Structure 1
Amino acid sequence: MSRVPPGPSRRLLLAGALAAVSAAVTGCSPDSEASTSGGSKRLRIGYFAFPSGDVIVKSRKLLEQALPDYRITWIKFDSGAGVNQAFIGKSLDIAALGSSPFARGVSGSSPIPYKVAWILDVAGENEALVARKATGITDVAGLRGRKIATPFASTSHYSLLAALETAGLGPSDVQLIDLQPQPILAAWQRGDIDAAYVWLPTLDELRTTGTQLTSSKEVGAAGRPTLDLAVVSDDLIARDPQAIAAWRKAEAKALRLLKSDPDGSVDAVAAELGISVADARAQLAQGVFLTPEQVVSADWLGTGSSPGKLLTYVTDTGRFLADQKQIDAAPSEDAVRKAFYLKGLSDVLA
């Protein structure tokens, strides 16, 4: 296909959310009542089956221990596009979300009603662009005219566009195909695609028969960093800020465990994702995990009084997406700033 069209309208996204997210939440049977009850003692959390501190929080039930009176529902998503749809449909309170889909979410005249409240990780070698060895392609420039799959509206999609631009290619110079990670693997095995930009664990499977052309670590070092953020709904901020404080402390504890108890963290990730300990260790080693002190600093998320460099990263991401015709217009820096929730952030260090 030639150029990737701008994303669907909010109205269409909402319609999709009603089906996709409803199915995900309903599948959690005993917890599904909590997700629709409207009470204050509930939390619906979106996550990715991806090696991170977020998975440790889930596996070790750190949040359930901190909030024993809450009914907590964990809902798995395949990409940030689905998370955005769920927030539009008011089906989530907290969720993991890549910096690129977050930039999309805060653009336009009707931004999604959520705010970034934490940083889960910085993309490194855990997201990458790989070409099938059978194609003989050894660099990004060699992708001209080729079929490349990636989940649209994701951090991988953003990094792919940035990598193509650096190589002198635009979206019209290749055939971009919108696929989620598992369908990417199937298409790869059938030989239907020439390359893919995706994340772990699918990425590791592609590497066995592919040649890595670049990674999000390299793209970030060249000035286009991507991050896995965590966002909270405006509704939760208004009705239950204490739950957000407990959740932040659980996430901060998980980041500390990654440093202080690496073996236990590997075991937790392996158990949660259903992979071997060796695979969990290798996958965690490819991510970049900040300390809580780094998250709560001017270099990253910021403090209660001032946003950090993440404000610039997200603003720049929005401009790039607009230049690439992925969104109608870039969000202003002020619009991005309003989508930061920093109140009480430094309390995680107490």
Structure 2
Amino acid sequence: MSADSQTTIDPTLVGTTATGTDRQGSRVPWRFIGGRAVFYLFTLWAAITMNFFLPRLLKGDAVDSFMARSQGQLTPAAEKALRALFGLDKSVPLWEQYLNYWNMLLHGNLGVSISTGLAPVGDAIASALPWTLGLVGVATIISFLIGTGLGAVIGWRRGSRLDAFVPVTTFLGTVPYFWLGLIFIAIFSTALGWFPAGHAYEIGVEPGWNGDFISEVVSHAALPVATIVIVSLGGWVLGMRNMMLTVLDEDYITVAQAKGMPNQRVLWKYAARNAVLPQIQSFALAIGFIVGGTLVMEMVFSYPGIGLLLLNATNAKDYALMQGIFLVLVLAVLVANILADVAYAILDPRTRQTEA
């Protein structure tokens, strides 16, 4: 009898994502990644192309808006210079503008923003992006961890009183961000005075890596973070709970329990490990869309994030800034999708075997 035939396979691992990883280790699926990379490169090209053409289909442009605000104080020569600066020279064919746009992107130049005093687009985005990443990113991670863990426990203990959390969190998930945010401001800021009502920090506070500034940022972010966590918690709880109910009916769960394994081990090592796979892909997408910010939430709390910056750029018809923000958003979503595919393939060998 060969050595392979004498190898004992744990029956509780058959049909689970643990089977391949236990036998082969968590190897990186390069062929799977390569196929995805080609697809995402095409998607990136299509997104950048649409990013160039769509704003130009709108009526008017940034220079027209700027000329209207100047009330005729600029000469035609100044208007021509502005159009050349923003790549909106009507004497240049559209295809040539498109090639110039690609040339600028490849050199890391996103243009200049007319709505921020002719500042480089990269600088305008760099000043707003950390606030969005810090606020929405932390809130998304917190809601994912709490919602996934709570959903796993609720699914494991189905039929218990914990099921009451599902309709409660689902109801809270239907509440609009701005409505819950206004309620929090009215209660915790206006009535109780526990937290500030808006902005990222108080006027006059010098930004820096010091205790005073960090405490200001944390206190100002408390209500927006709580708003995002509460509203988004229901989706994570419901998704994980439903997947747990499906996984608990699998044979390997029955075998694991019949072998007398501790419930905690069966819950987290077998049931939750397989049920969490769809959650990981959803989490990656949520991380990608963090870059876009939560526009309404940022408006309610006057938070200087990327969403508020995009609103101002749209009102000013600031094509360069709009295109820069959309480009960063597209890149974030694509990278998040790639990371989700890689994580999914590593955790579930069946995925990369099918793709291969």
Task: Please confirm whether the aligned pair reaches a TM-score higher than 0.5, indicating the same fold.
Answer: no
TM-score interval w.r.t. the shorter chain? under 0.3
The structure with the greater share of residues assigned to helix is: 2
The structure with the greater share of residues assigned to strand is: 1
Structure whose alpha-carbon radius of gyration is higher: 2
TM-score (norm 1): 0.22
Bigger relative contact order (CA 8 A; separation at least 6): 2
